[in-house]
Structure 1
């Protein structure tokens, strides 16, 4: 598992963990490594929420920390999927995925996603440091559960690093994924468990429709689709957690 986690961190972040070919191969066969990497990313991204700074500053620092740790690879995947969704016909969609330029569809979906993430971060920061940090952590774990679900259940698309992760395991690999994600909800302050459970469920609930869309329109789950699922799942999970915490 440790080798697989190093491979996951090398694939999902900019952290200098090495990994190499052995890490990559172990990661491809171990969807639960997505989730463990989510704890690392979420834990680092949550640190600004623990600082004695204004809510708006904490939210801004969260965004900065998140993308310093993860880079923009998954955002680029979201942009490519946005351009593909705006295109007409299979050939145009494939061309949009390969085009290094960002079109109107990509700009729109990335802009909306970042805006929604910023508002979600503001809402989370207002919940207080202890709850905020746990919601940030759970939203990142949730997004990685979504990616792991697509890796285990999806049909690989065109050849590439992302699609090479898909189809290397099966539904049985999701049991370790659930076990790995459970502590994000179980180790919670009194009254926070329902919100954290909702947060964790949101990720795969978003990723599965993204996977179905990619299969129908892109020929399978590609690296761009995995990236899009990650970014969208994080946003929805964060808002779902804030709403659940506010209501319950």
Structure 2
């Protein structure tokens, strides 16, 4: 239970009492998808009672940001600034890690939010799409936590230090219950493919632009992977 509370305190704003030592979760970061199931279910519950698809999709996006405390959304915006910065790795890292919000942050946040909203709106099963997207997004975080060599000291270096190369394999197994949802298995397999491709590409891009990965990149992977998975299952 300490590990679960530590995981949810790191990934959500849920009132879970006394803060747990982050090490409880750091030693078991393969559990990221469990947070995805819980967050997805919490968001899906109120959305289930909204009959208008457009409003339901908008409420889902808002709740996803609120329940996670915009923690990963902030990482997405920082990644956008680093991605759009011009210059060498040092200049890109400064853009990625400073507190200022630039055009790159706003642009990437808008793009990903619009994609997520459109994907949810067009999904045959909005509730399933919310859960699938959130679980797959959390898998991408487990993937980058394990394989993303940190370029400086910070949250990523702390979690990466406890992670093992086989952790993403366990995370993948935790995603398999998604096959039990009332969704065409082809859509699920498509989601699985996207949830692996997205963090793999982000890892390659981050190594090239920044020389490694930090917590912002990992947070961005959650937002990007979630949106692309939801769009993907809507199109398949």
1:30-56 CA-partner distances (Å, limit 9, x unpaired): 122211001011111222442142111
> Contact 1:141 / 1:200 at 8 angstroms: preserved in 2?
no
Structure 2, unaligned runs of 5 or more: none
85-94 or 107-116, which moves further after superposition? 85-94
How is 1:3-14 mapped onto 2 (pairs within 5 angstroms)?
A: 3-14=2-13
> Contact 1:135 / 1:196 at 8 angstroms: preserved in 2?
no
1:91-124 CA-partner distances (Å, limit 9, x unpaired): 2112112321111111111111111111112112
Count of residues in correspondence between the two structures: 235
1:169 matched to 2:167? The reply is no
TM-score using structure 2 length? 0.92
How is 1:103-122 mapped onto 2 (pairs within 5 angstroms)?
A: 103-122=102-121
> Contact 1:5 / 1:34 at 8 angstroms: preserved in 2?
no
How is 1:120-199 mapped onto 2 (pairs within 5 angstroms)?
A: 120-124=119-123, 127=124, 131-185=125-179, 187-189=180-182, 192-199=184-191
Measure how far apart 1:18 and its partner are.
4.3
> Contact 2:150 / 2:213 at 8 angstroms: preserved in 1?
yes
How is 1:6-155 mapped onto 2 (pairs within 5 angstroms)?
A: 6-18=5-17, 20-22=19-21, 24-87=22-85, 88-124=87-123, 127=124, 131-155=125-149
Q: After TM superposition, what 4+ stretches of structure 1 lie above 4 angstroms from structure 2?
A: none
- Alpha-carbon separation, structure 2, partners of 1:228 and 1:47: 25
Measure how far apart 1:147 and its partner are.
0.7
- State the secondary structure of the residue aligned to 1:156: coil
> Contact 2:65 / 2:73 at 8 angstroms: preserved in 1?
no
TM-score using structure 1 length? 0.88
What value does the CA root-mean-square deviation take over the aligned residues? Answer: 1.7
- State the secondary structure of the residue aligned to 2:153: coil
> Contact 1:41 / 1:140 at 8 angstroms: preserved in 2?
yes
Q: Relative CO higher for 1 or 2, CA cutoff 8 Å, sep ≥ 6? A: 2
- Alpha-carbon separation, structure 1, partners of 2:69 and 2:117: 17
Measure how far apart 1:21 and its partner are.
4.6
Distance 1:40 1:171, change over 3 A: same
